[in-house]
Amino acid sequence: MKRTLSFFGSRDGWLVMAGCSLIAGTYGLVRLAYGLFLPDIDRSVPLGTATAGFIASGSSVAYCVGALAAVVLDHRPRALLVASVATASGGAVAMALAPGLALLAPAVVVASAGAGLASPGLVAVVARTVSPQRADAAQATVNAGTGPGLVAAGVLALVMPDWRAAFVLSAVVTALAGGGVLLLDRGRVRPAAGSRAMSDRGSASLVRLRVPAVAAILLGVASAVTWTYGRTQLAATGAGDTTTVLAWIALGVGGTATVLTASRLASLSPQRAWLLTSAVVAASTAGLGLTDAPRLVHVAACVGFGWGFVAASSALIAWASRVLPTRGAAGTSVLFVALVLGQALGAALAGVVADGAGMSTAFLLSALVALAAAACGRD
């Protein structure tokens, strides 16, 4: 805990806070908020379960396009961050203005690209600014921004008059956070060892990421059902609108709690951290699939899922940096692309399974896939 927070109060600390806020905006307030507001969106713009799943899949593909662009432009992190803010904020405003499906669907897709551009851009900025001794904790803290973003989205769902106003405010917050990062970035590039730097260049070096990439795909498939249909599933258990929003906030609280565990997880190997966090995702997904379980089980599952997923994505960042020390941003892009490609597949499959066999079945099958993802972390 002490090491996690030791850089706060300095310029680097403000940069980490701004980066955390940008992740909160692009992920929690924009990309993942689609699942939170889906019941409200569906009442305003009728979608249906399968269509909602395919839109979520499309947004995942857009995320991947953004992250793949970052592989090519990993040497230009500021450009990535500008593009991130433009797509996330612009897409969120377009969602708010959409009168029907024809504009809503592409707006959701475009907005999701912002998150794909933000993560690798921030990885590069943090890596060249924060000292190597504190880099892992700083990266994990920035990545933990998803949690506060989810909490903020849940609060907006409770206090804003409708989902459209919430997305307008989300766009403003995201733009301000991105501006803060750009102002605080000093653009210093830390020198890397020449021989290792050269060995990490080129697409061949990315082959070394094959094991974490498979793990990321599996976790993406497993997590999609919760991000897309989590609130819908809780509503099916008899929970009211306020209760389901509070459960989403609990999910965000779990994600935020990764700040408290960042130093401890950073002391583990990336593989062990992945095994632990993915196993928590599996257990939490199964808990959400138990329709008749006590409400406390569902709340605990939301907290556990939020912590497990955000911590697992931080483990992917550490895994990429361990495998490709001088190309951490590019490696992160590849692994996050794998994660979100899995989510694209998982969202579509979950919608089909839910239509045919019920939502609980989709959750329980996803939990099994999460266990397979965890197994990839065995040393």
Q: What is the token pair recorded at 15?
A: 């940069």
Contact in structure between 289 and 233 (CB atoms under 8 Å): yes
Residue 202 lies in a domain: no
Predicted confidence (pLDDT) per residue in 293-332, tens digit: 888 899 999 999 999 999 999 899 889 888 887 777 778 8
Residue 226 lies in a domain: yes
d(CA 105, CA 82): 23
Q: What is the token pair recorded at 253?
A: 């609280």
Contact in structure between 338 and 316 (CB atoms under 8 Å): no
What residues contact 305, with CB distance under 8 A and at least 6 apart?
Answer: 223, 226, 230, 251, 254, 280, 281, 284, 285, 288
Residue 315 lies in a domain: yes
Residue 182 lies in a domain: yes
The CA-based angle 349-351-355, given to 5 degrees, is 115
The pTM for the full model equals 0.80
State the pLDDT confidence band at 379, using cuts at 50, 70 and 90.
low
pLDDT confidence of residue 196: 44
**Helices and strands (H and E) in the chain: how many:** 17, 0
Predicted confidence (pLDDT) per residue in 238-274, tens digit: 888 888 889 889 999 999 998 888 888 888 999 999 9
Q: How many CA atoms lie within 13 A of 157 on its CB side?
A: 28
State the pLDDT confidence band at 198, using cuts at 50, 70 and 90.
very low
State the pLDDT confidence band at 8, using cuts at 50, 70 and 90.
low
Composition of the chain by helix, strand, coil, percent to 5 = 85, 0, 15
Q: To the nearest 10°, the Cα dihedral for 17, 63, 112, 94?
A: 130
Q: Terminus-to-terminus CA distance in the chain, angstroms?
A: 26
pLDDT at 215 over 80: yes
pLDDT at 140 over 50: yes
Contact in structure between 80 and 121 (CB atoms under 8 Å): yes
Residue 293 lies in a domain: yes
**Which CATH number fits the domain that encloses residue 353?**
1.20.1250.20
> Nearest Cα to 255, choosing from 279, 237, 277, 240?
277
> Nearest Cα to 276, choosing from 320, 307, 249?
307
pLDDT confidence of residue 288: 94
Residue 203 lies in a domain: no
> Nearest Cα to 19, choosing from 145, 110, 194?
145
Residue 197 lies in a domain: no
pLDDT confidence of residue 227: 86
Rounded to the nearest integer, the mean pLDDT of the chain is 87
Question: What is the three-class DSSP state of 273?
Answer: helix
State the pLDDT confidence band at 4, using cuts at 50, 70 and 90.
very low
Query: Is the sign of the CA dihedral 141, 5, 21, 288 positive or negative?
Result: positive
Percent of the chain with pLDDT over 90: 47
Contact in structure between 203 and 147 (CB atoms under 8 Å): no
pLDDT at 200 over 70: no
pLDDT confidence of residue 333: 81
Residues found in the chain: 379
Name the domain count of the chain.
1
State the pLDDT confidence band at 351, using cuts at 50, 70 and 90.
confident
Contact in structure between 64 and 335 (CB atoms under 8 Å): no
What is the extent of the structural domain holding 70? 2-186+208-375
Q: Report how far apart, in Å, the C-alpha atoms of 117 and of each of 33, 172, 173, 310 are.
A: 17, 18, 17, 17
pLDDT confidence of residue 51: 85
d(CA 119, CA 89): 15
State the pLDDT confidence band at 70, using cuts at 50, 70 and 90.
confident
What residues contact 204, with CB distance under 8 A and at least 6 apart?
Answer: none
pLDDT confidence of residue 364: 96
Residue 193 lies in a domain: no
The CA-based angle 230-232-234, given to 5 degrees, is 70
Predicted confidence (pLDDT) per residue in 168-179, tens digit: 999 999 999 999
